[in-house]
Amino acid sequence: MSDPAIHGPIDVLVLEFPTGAGGAATCQAVLDLIDRGTIRLYDVMAVSKDADGTCTLVDLAAAGGSLAGLAALAGAGSGLLGAEDVDDAARVLDPGTVGVVLVYENTWSIPFVTAALEEGGQMVATSRLTVQEIMDALDAAESAD
């Protein structure tokens, strides 16, 4: 059993959907990851970005159209996300879309983090590549062959 004070890396992920997207399959995938113990969900925030660039928060519990399928995640809120995160999401979303910001812990990594800590190691940095960065790099490597 791992020490509850030890955590895995925490990621912030922004997903962009076309306006009107339901999100039910995405919701189920997140719930499956939680059920398997792969992640621990801390926060969920939804933002709508109008064609003119105006952003507003979307209440997932009351959403009747866009992202209504994510209602089961509406209660996730640890306080890690704040007003500045709405602004950050707004910068990366295209006009006319809705976005979901997820904050989750990679609980799958706790065993090796624990082992490293017990041996005097410490996690000093983490980094993530976006899906597009990975696809671009693999395409470039394939083209070079």
Mean pLDDT across the chain, nearest whole number?
89
Name the pTM for this structure: 0.84
> Tell me: the pLDDT tens digits for 33-54?
999 999 999 999 999 999 998 8
> Tell me: the pLDDT tens digits for 41-88?
999 999 999 999 888 888 888 867 778 899 999 989 898 888 888 788
Query: What is the side-by-side order of every strand in the sheet holding 10-18?
Result: 10-18, 97-105, 40-49, 55-58
Please tell me the distance from the alpha carbon of residue 7 to that of residue 110, in angstroms, as a whole number.
6
- Please state which of the ranges 4-18, 53-67, 112-126 shows the lowest mean pLDDT: 53-67
Contacts of 77 (CB under 8 A, 6+ apart): 43, 44
Q: How sure is the predictor about 3, in pLDDT bands with cuts at 50, 70 and 90?
A: low
Which position has the token pair 């597009």? 132
Residue 139, CA distances (Å) to 85, 127, 131, 134, 142 in order = 32, 21, 12, 9, 5
36, with CB counted inside 10 A (0-12, 13-18, 19+), is exposed
Write down the pLDDT at residue 138.
93
Percent of the chain with pLDDT over 90: 55
Residues 23 and 16: beta-carbon distance below 8 Å: no
Average pLDDT, integer, range 96-106: 94
Q: Could you tell me whether strands 97-105 and 40-49 are parallel, antiparallel, or unpaired per DSSP bridges?
A: antiparallel
Q: 4 pLDDT exceeds 70? A: no
Total residues found in the chain within this entry? 145
Q: How sure is the predictor about 19, in pLDDT bands with cuts at 50, 70 and 90?
A: confident
CA 92 to chain centre: 14
